[in-house]
Amino acid sequence: MLSLKLDSLGVRPLGAEDAPELYALIEANREHLERWMPWAAGQDLAGTERFIAEAEEQFARDDGFQAKVAPEGQIVGVAGFHSIDWINRNTSIGYWLAADAQGKGTMSEVVRALVSHAFDEWDLHRVEIHCAPENARSRAIPERLGFREEARLRETELVGGRYLDSVVYGLLEEEWGSTPT
């Protein structure tokens, strides 16, 4: 079960039954997604099914989750935790939205609720978000939520045949307490 806040935003763990709808959304948004997401250009239906199966295993072993974002019932994006480092109490968050679901503050609210989930439900210490330097819309999300820009990693992701750097944003639990909600 996810927190009530996540549930009220329509954020629910992905299940096998979501594969056709999620794949149709990826297909309709492929050009939009493949600019930034290394998996987007080549993903077929079997790839979406594999992603969901792995997400279900991740959830079952208490290693975070991948959720559909469906504020009005239909899926408009995905957000989740890559994994949880329980020893060091940290995690990282990733996300995407369909092109026509952008510009409404949806993902900022979802990421805010995921961060609260990490600190309040799991008692984690640190959350990271990695964005390509040129991905202004993505960078605006951690910046809006009070994350600190901490580092730039060189050529971490191969997207569309070129290596992109990652800007690392970090937020500590004690800093979250002072962030306006």
Ligand X SMILES: CC(C)(COP(=O)(O)OP(=O)(O)OC[C@H]1O[C@@H](n2cnc3c(N)ncnc32)[C@H](O)[C@@H]1OP(=O)(O)O)[C@@H](O)C(=O)NCCC(=O)NCCS
Spatial contact of 42 and 27, defined as CB atoms under 8 Å apart: no
Give the number of other Cβ atoms within 10 Å of residue 127's Cβ: 26
**Closest distance between ligand X and the C-beta of residue 30, in Å?**
11
The residue whose Cβ lies closest to ligand X is: 105
The least distance separating ligand X from the CB of residue 132, rounded to whole angstroms, comes to 7
- Angle, helices 19-28 vs 45-60, to 10°: value is 130
Identity of the residue, 87 or 154, whose beta carbon is nearer to ligand X in the bound complex? 154
Q: Which two tokens stand for residue 114?
A: 């995921």
Closer residue to ligand X (CB): 21 or 62? 21
Question: Which residue pairs from 95-101 have beta carbons closer than 8 angstroms and sit at least 24 positions apart in sequence?
Answer: 95/69, 95/138, 95/141, 96/33, 96/36, 96/37, 97/69, 98/25, 98/28, 98/29, 98/32, 99/29, 99/32, 101/69, 101/76, 101/77
CB of 64 to ligand X, least distance (A): 16
Whether 111 contacts 96, CB under 8 Å: no
Q: Minimal distance in Å, beta carbon 76 to ligand X?
A: 9
First to last CA, the chain: 23
Taking the least distance from each CB to ligand X, the nearer of 139 and 176 is 139
The least distance separating ligand X from the CB of residue 178, rounded to whole angstroms, comes to 19
Q: Can you give the binding site for ligand X, defined by CB under 6 A?
A: 32-33, 36-37, 95-97, 102-108, 131, 135, 137-138, 140-141
84 vs 111 by CB, closer to ligand X:
111
* 60 versus 160: smaller Cβ distance to ligand X: 160
